[in-house]
Amino acid sequence: MQRIQPVDPKIAHGRTKELLETVQQAFGVIPNTAKVMANSPAVLDSFLAFSTAMGGTKIGTKLHNQVKLTTSETNACDYCTSILSAVAPSAGLSAADVLAGRTRNSEDRRIKAALAFANNVLESRGKVSEQQLAAVRDAGYGDAEIVEIVASVVLGCFTNFLNNVADTELDFQKAESVEACSVGGG
């Protein structure tokens, strides 16, 4: 049962109503996670600004979403894993790309290095080693991309932690387990 009540868009008012209308216009729906964030207009506004800004990254939407899948899997956030998997095609991700994000195991050496680095950031709470930083640099990532990978981890952690605390009710199809995706191909 959901532990933080979502804001009902029908009775929202003021800045909260405006922000929920923005979400509706942008996505065609208002996901339950946005309704939970709407308890604090400052939080929802900050999330929308951060998410929008991350749309202009050098690492691109695909890797940004794969990094968020890495965080969701690591943080055991069923809500985020499910929503990210559901919207994956609109972000340019194939079923194999989603699985790579969730398992941190891509056939593409460069993506694999970025996902490994994201995991290192998570596991060390940002206190990565010189070798871990060198490995992501050796894969061709510069300072801008490294900062963006870290920001993607942080954005993923925010939504993961909030949805885990709230036990946000799924409003998208629950993502299959990694094992089922590996066997079933998606």
135 and 71, same structural domain? yes
Q: Is residue 50 part of a domain?
A: yes
Q: Is residue 4 part of a domain?
A: no
CA distance linking residue 120 with residue 49, whole number of Å: 26
160 and 105, same structural domain? yes
Q: Residue 27 belongs to what domain range? A: 14-54
pLDDT in tens, 90-149: 889 999 999 999 999 999 999 999 999 999 999 999 999 999 999 999 999 999 999 999
48 and 124, same structural domain? no
User: Coil, helix or strand for 30?
Assistant: coil
Question: Given this model, what pLDDT does residue 186 score?
Answer: 52
65 and 48, same structural domain? no
Question: Given this model, what pLDDT does residue 27 score?
Answer: 87
CB 34 within 8 A of CB 23: yes
Q: Is residue 5 part of a domain?
A: no
**Taking residues 3-9, what's their average pLDDT?**
97
CATH number at 68 reads 1.20.1290.10
What residues have CB less than 8 Å from 51, skipping those under 6 apart?
Answer: 155
Confidence of residue 153 (pLDDT cuts 50, 70, 90): very high
120 and 89, same structural domain? yes
Domain count, the chain: 2
Provide the mean pLDDT of the chain: 95
**Taking residues 171-182, what's their average pLDDT?**
87
Question: Given this model, what pLDDT does residue 40 score?
Answer: 98
pLDDT in tens, 19-48: 999 999 988 999 999 999 999 999 999 999
Q: Is residue 157 part of a domain?
A: yes
User: Tokens for 100?
Assistant: 């790579």
Question: Given this model, what pLDDT does residue 72 score?
Answer: 97
CA distance linking residue 50 with residue 150, whole number of Å: 13
122 and 30, same structural domain? no
33 and 115, same structural domain? no
141 and 67, same structural domain? yes
- Percent of the chain residues past pLDDT 70, beyond the cut: 98
153 and 101, same structural domain? yes
CA distance linking residue 73 with residue 186, whole number of Å: 15
30 and 116, same structural domain? no
pLDDT in tens, 34-90: 999 999 999 999 999 999 999 999 999 999 999 999 999 999 999 999 999 999 998
